[in-house]
Amino acid sequence: MGSYSASAQHLVDTMRAAALAAPARGLAFQGAPGANSDLAAREHDADALPMPCYAFQDAIDAVRDGRVDRAIIPIENSLHGRVADIHFLLPESGLSIVGEHFLRIRHGLMSRNLGPVTRAMSHEQALGQCRHWLRAHHISPVAHSDTAGAAAWVADSDEVGLAAIAPPHAAELYGLTLHEAGIEDAEHNMTRFVVLAREPMPPPAGVASMTTFIFEVKNIPAALYKALGGFATNGVNMTKLESYQVGGSFAATKFYADIVGAPGDERVDRALEELDFQTKSLSLLGTYPQARPRP
């Protein structure tokens, strides 16, 4: 567990108290108040009580321990791919994916106006998403654990030339001057979040759904080809497939996958049965309604 800067801590304490007092409405997120995950929580469920957590593991633990009912976690960005470590945290969490949310990412440059901006602090993902703009303006990036957390840090700092890159509304939240908004390098900058709960909540029949799972292939020739054959022959659309190494051996490969559909559909059931036969392990992480249509 890390700590927030003074400008963020009083907001954190207020939001945590509200969420913990009503666990059914509590929605844990990683970051400081005003972070993109905070925005995603409020967009996903307008009745939710977002609860700030310093790290992803803290947000997951809040759900696993029963302090709040759900967490919302970013898993991938349209510019920079998957969020670091999330493929390890999700399977180990013991939680189920029960929803998804897509958030258009907007970044703004903000400071206390202590001289011309020469350094900008933010999360590594945000810095990467603004790297061309920063380079064009001769501003050096400074890594921080969170976007809004960086804004709070800058609000408490007397360092000349230091600014933060955060969602534009964070400037008002932390009493900073917003110098420019929309500094992200691409207009299609989008982050996908998943909502986690202790128990699965399968969508009602007829609702367009997604299913997410992890599998490990056998260490034999054409293992992945054989494992995925059932999805092709049964006409199941796989919208995401990412590999990652486990155990440090470079010989054990796991895959994270999303498919359109849900168990109970004959085509999906046949494809998953074939996958289970062809792999060393298969773990379903959740079935949930689509937040955006897939083919």
Q: Which residues are catalytic?
A: 191, 193
Given a contact cutoff of 8 angstroms between Cβ atoms, the answer to whether 100 and 288 are in contact is: yes
CA distance 136 to 10: 36
CA distance 257 to 283: 11
Strand, helix or coil at 169? Answer: coil
Return the DSSP state at 212: E
CA distance 98 to 289: 8
**Backbone phi, psi, residue 288, to 5°:** -155, 160
Q: Which of 14, 139, 89, 116 is nearest to 244 (CA)?
A: 89
- What is the crossing angle of helices 6-21 and 147-155, to 10°? 130
**Backbone phi, psi, residue 216, to 5°:** -120, 125
